[in-house]
Amino acid sequence: MLTYHVAALNKTVAAIVGMTFLDQREQQVREETNLNLLISRVGIPLTVLAARTPLRRLRMPMTLASKMLTLVNVPAALKVCLADRTSASKWVTLAFLASYTKCVPIMEPEAFDVCPILLTQPARDRWTPLHLAEIFLKRIRRVPMRKVTLENAGYYPREQPGLSQMVNAIQEFGTMSAASARVRRDRSTANAAARLAKPVRRLDLGRMPFSPPWTVRLNG
């Protein structure tokens, strides 16, 4: 979802490759991605209220807010993530959690026309399954949207053949997007050149009542 926000803000991104396109404004998304129903239905509203007070600076571990145990399906890798204070063991402020839950895109999906999107969806993603991403992505109609399923892969797609499928899909998508971007750029350049090549229309003001002794040149 971060890639979407960046593209909507920047508007010069050539293409997006991503997973986990989650709109946390949707109750279903909150209920399926938060740790449990108590957090999604009671904890989140209380967090939003607390974020409006000095309590906004209080911190809590992400393991209590979301399903960090589903980050990766490889036990050894999961152990590393759970011990990593920049990953699953991260402590975040209530203000951050509230802003994440209430985040409104700069550009709603119906209006998104910046670039094509590739969804690389792990088949065994136990945290953010495909149907949650589709809630948001199905609203995008103005740009090409492609989906690739990564077989046997979890949320962090380390497993084969999903990992290789992701690499191959990104390479292919990048090549296609670069070619499409060149076509758009060439077309834009050609249109600009055509506008500049239009004949100049001359307007002779010599016959007007005040009879100016000069001629004004106007672009066509």
The pLDDT confidence band at residue 210, using thresholds 50, 70 and 90, is very low
Percentage with pLDDT > 90 across the chain: 77
pTM: 0.77
> What are the structural domain ranges in the chain?
1-21+107-220, 24-104
Tell me the CA distances in angstroms from 33 to 47, 60, 126, 145, 203, one per residue in order. Answer: 16, 17, 9, 23, 67
At 155-185, the pLDDT tens digits run: 999 999 999 999 999 999 988 887 776 666 6
Q: What DSSP string runs through 155-174?
A: SS--STTHHHHHHHHHHHHH
At 58-105, the pLDDT tens digits run: 999 999 999 999 999 999 999 999 999 999 999 999 999 999 998 999
* CB neighbour list of residue 214: distance below 8 Å, 6 or more residues apart: 205
